[in-house]
Amino acid sequence: MSRLSAVRPAYWISGVLLAVAVVVPLLVSTYAKDEPRLWGFPFFYWYQLMWVFISAILVSICYQLVSREERRRRAAQGLKNPDLHGADEEADR
């Protein structure tokens, strides 16, 4: 089995989503125009601002996917969940 086949789909999906969040705003030819305007703002500005919010959503989806996969991996190896471990230590204080 190669190392590439051991990579889980959650990591592939996260990589693609992060690549979209980075590459699409770099495609200047798609938004280098003035029209259509939104509330008086040229397309260039509101399109870039829209991608700030879209990127934040994509990053949060990636975080959830990778966190869930890491919890599954740790459970399969019989390791403690680091999220619960920190909460237990604070409860002991």
Give the pLDDT score at 6.
Answer: 60
85 or 79, higher pLDDT: 79
Give the pLDDT score at 83.
Answer: 60
pLDDT in tens, 30-49: 877 777 877 888 888 888 88
> CA-CA distance, 41 to 53, in Å (whole number)?
17
Give the pLDDT score at 1.
Answer: 47
Question: How high does pLDDT run on average in the chain?
Answer: 78
> CA-CA distance, 63 to 33, in Å (whole number)?
33
Give the pLDDT score at 24.
Answer: 85
Tokens standing for residue 30: 């798609």
Q: pTM above the 0.85 mark? A: no
Reply yes or no on whether the pLDDT at 89 is more than 60: no
* CB proximity list for 20: less than 8 A, separation 6 or greater: 58
